Amino acid sequence: MYMNRFGEWGGTYSNDNWGMMSAGFGGYEWVLWALAVAVPLLIIFVAWSLVWKGLALWHAARRGQYGWFIILLVVNTLGILEIIYLFFVAKLTFKELFSKHDHRV
């Protein structure tokens, strides 16, 4: 029940059905769906970025390339700049990414 603009009591609101998808959020259930999709994607992107950033920072520091180290530390590109550094600037192969040998220039 609700009171209309004339002060009379009327029927129910259209959002009062409390159906399967309506949890009483007033039509903003899409926010929950957006969060349900966005949060796992955010976790995946952060993990992806941290792996590549860690590898790139490690190799830049071991090679004594402190300019690259600072750039890689400050700039966040979801791993793109880190991948470019590792494979095209440092010219490492995928096997060398996790090796323990010295990477001096």
Percentage of residues of the chain with pLDDT beyond 70: 74
DSSP string, 59-94: HHHHTT-HHHHHHHHH---TTHHHHHIIIIIS---T
Q: What is the mean pLDDT for each group of 10 consecutive residues in the chain (105 residues)?
A: 68 52 67 92 95 95 94 93 94 86 60
Domain ranges for the chain, please list them.
30-98
pTM tops 0.75: no
